[in-house]
Chains A and B, each alone.
Chain A
Amino acid sequence: MLAVVGGLFIFEVIALAYGEQPAAVLGDLWAGTWGTGYGIGQVLFKTTPLIFTGLSVGVAFRAGLFNIGAEGQAVLGALAVGVVGSSLPESTPAVVAVPLCIGAGFAAGAAWGVVPGMLKARFGAHEVITTIMLNFVAMAISSWLVVTWLVVPETLHTRAIIEPARIWRLEAFIPGFRGSPANAAFVLGLLVAAAMSWVLFRTRVGYDLRALGLAPAAAEYGGVLVKRMTVLAMGLAGGLAGLVGTNFVLGYKYYHEEGFSAGVGFLGIAVALLGRSHPVGIVLAAMLFGTLSQGGLAINALVPKETMEILQAVIILVVAAAAGISSRRRLQA
């Protein structure tokens, strides 16, 4: 809350610096996002990948791990979705094709998440550094595969996925969303968030995972296989990030494209932090950041849309600072 207020303050200062009435800019911001059906659709479309990466980072946080690799996991997940979706025979029924594509995204992301998990479990290599490095490697692999093997000539994307693998646009059900690319991946995001909630707080695995994050030594003493759980948590985190591809590939463009992800992995960290690694909080935080992303476009006529990046950075800093201060209070109590 403090973060949003702090962010708004900076925002007003910038608006004034541009000689615009802050209220007018905020008005535009509202009108371009939650003010119209189209705006809401756009916000939901931009929220969806952040739900997945937010959950990815959040699950890792719960296990005491820092997954900065959501970006790379998302890229490889989307690539896998695109490749599987375009390789299936055109006659594949949707009930087979869609789960297969979703599964491919999850599997590819998970595989990329397992790598830092194993490096940590086996060699003690810190996951922050390894995931940063793996991000670059993932992007290079994607770029290499796309450019060398998969590209449609004259473009930078893979072949289109088959018709049955394409998931519904929400505009088919809610006419107000017409023209926005919001699609069923948002619903998938909500379902996955609910599932994560259940796994984390209602299952043995989730309990072990949280125990590992809260008190590693106690968890080990209590019988948690720390190394295995580390790999599992990173794999799960990677898989969740791998689902980002469903929104873009299955629901919007119908192909994988170079550089589509543009920072969703990093914003996922902010989302998880603001949502306190709780699935409900993550969905809400993802909506806030989705609104800011879309809002940047809405106010571009008055204030450059990049202002929103500054705003997001300030929110992240304030949230991190607030978390730091409250941890000190707990320390002193």
Chain B
Amino acid sequence: MINCDLPVQALRISVPYVLAALGGVVSERSGVINIGLEGMMLLGAFGTVVGTLMTGSPLAGLGFGLLAGLLLAAVHATATGVFRADHIVSGLAINLLAAGATRVLLKRLYHSSSNSPRIEGITSLVTGHGLLALLAHPLVWVTVGLVAGVWWLLNRTVLGLRLSSVGEHPEAAAAAGLRVLRLRAIGVMMSGMLAGMSGAWLAFDQHQFTDGMSGGRGYIALAAMIFGKWRPVPAAAACILFGSAEAIQMALQGGSAGIPVQLVQTLPYVLTLVALAGAIGRARPPAAVGRPYP
């Protein structure tokens, strides 16, 4: 299973980051901070496994995963929109909720506190484990398509401009006749589905659900989103940068290069801190992000 091919590893690690980071972009551009990406990813992975085991079809499993992400996103949208809850607090609660719920359900459904039974993933069109097999993987293409799609949505469609406008200046958007809360809910729910899909990738990749399998990836995606200045294409590029760093670090672990593993793992976070400190130009969030409306 383990493939030492560096680009393959880098890509495999990057895909879930890209999907979740796109989710972060869509949500935050519409004005809702989404720290809950981590939890949506986790529940998405769990939903995917449950769906696959129940129906026997990975595709249906993916649908379940998207639905699970959507469900949590709906909670986040309701809490932050209708109830004006603090976006960060709600996001953290959602992460806690997902961690608790998956553990309880894991015990309930599969009588295990660590992992689910094995599932078959969505397989590549080309057999094997090399670069070609990964490049022929349908989900990789879906991911690439989604990067372009989110860019298209935000920059070239009416809905995208509306999403951005409620993220920049909800009052002005409302004055122009837009339904701010509804638009923000749409942004968050799209975000939830993207995060759910990110979780589905993890589940398919590891062929099972394991407790806490999102492992902080939602936060890395968040970091990539900031690194990419809240824009889809740069954010995806940042994900690939972070994924490559991780792949290199894993490859180094096999040999020994004298760099402590733990410190290499902090690279995404340190880079993000540097980015926030303005080293690569101002990283400016959407003006009204995190601000409740009305």
Contact = CB atoms under 8 A, between A and B. Distances in A.
Given A128-B88, A306-B104, A328-B84, A313 B276 contact: no
B56 interface: no
B266 A304 contact: no
Contact of B276 (A129, A263, A304, A328): A129
B138 interface: no
A129 B272 contact: yes
Interface residues of A, number: 49
Nearest to B283: A125
A132 B93 CA distance: 15
Given A304-B103, A313-B94, A317-B85, A125 B276 contact: yes
Contacts of A307: 100, 104
Contacts of B99: 306, 309
A312 B96 contact: yes
A39 B259 CA distance: 46
Contact of B85 (A141, A270, A321, A331): A321
A123 B277 CA distance: 5
A137 B269 contact: yes
A292 to B, nearest CB: 11
Contacts of B273: 119, 125, 130, 133-134, 137
B133 interface: no
A314 interface: yes
A307 B33 CA distance: 27
Nearest to A273: B89
Contacts of A309: 96-97, 99-100, 103
Interface stretch (A143-151, A170-178, A180-188, A218-226): A143-151
A325 B96 CA distance: 22
B97 A306 contact: no
A74 to B, nearest CB: 16
A134 B219 CA distance: 12
Contacts of B84: 321, 324-325, 327-328
Contacts of B263: 140-141, 144
B39 to A, nearest CB: 9
Contacts of A320: 79, 83, 85-86, 89-90, 93
Interface in A301-333: 304, 306-314, 316-317, 319-325, 327-328, 331
Given A143-B262, A320-B86, A323-B86, A313 B269 contact: no
B276 A314 contact: no
A310 B219 contact: no
Contact of A321 (B83, B92, B265, B294): B83
Interface residues of B, number: 45
Interface string A38-65: 0000000000000000000000000000
A136 B277 contact: no
| Majority SS at the chain A contact face | helix
A319 B292 CA distance: 16
B223 A133 contact: yes
Interface in B244-294: 260, 262-263, 265-266, 269-270, 272-273, 276-278, 285, 292, 294
Nearest to A118: B277
Given A125-B276, A126-B285, A306 B96 contact: no
Contacts of B226: 129
B74 interface: no
Contact of A317 (B79, B101, B108, B266): B79
A14 interface: yes
Given A132-B219, A148-B260, A320-B86, A266 B104 contact: no
Interface in B67-92: 75, 79-80, 83-86, 88-90, 92
12 contacts: A126-B285, A136-B216, A136-B265, A269-B89, A309-B100, A310-B104, A314-B97, A317-B94, A317-B97, A320-B90, A324-B80, A325-B84
The 8 closest A-B pairs by CB, nearest first: A309-B100, A324-B84, A321-B83, A320-B85, A313-B97, A125-B276, A306-B103, A144-B262
Interface of A: 14, 66, 68, 119, 122-123, 125-126, 128-130, 132-134, 136-137, 140-141, 143-144, 147-148, 263, 266, 269-270, 273, 304, 306-314, 316-317, 319-325, 327-328, 331
Interface of B: 33, 35, 75, 79-80, 83-86, 88-90, 92-97, 99-101, 103-104, 107-108, 216, 219, 222-223, 226, 260, 262-263, 265-266, 269-270, 272-273, 276-278, 285, 292, 294
Given A309-B100, A321-B84, 12 more contacts: A68-B92, A123-B278, A128-B33, A129-B272, A132-B222, A141-B263, A141-B266, A270-B92, A306-B100, A308-B100, A310-B100, A320-B93
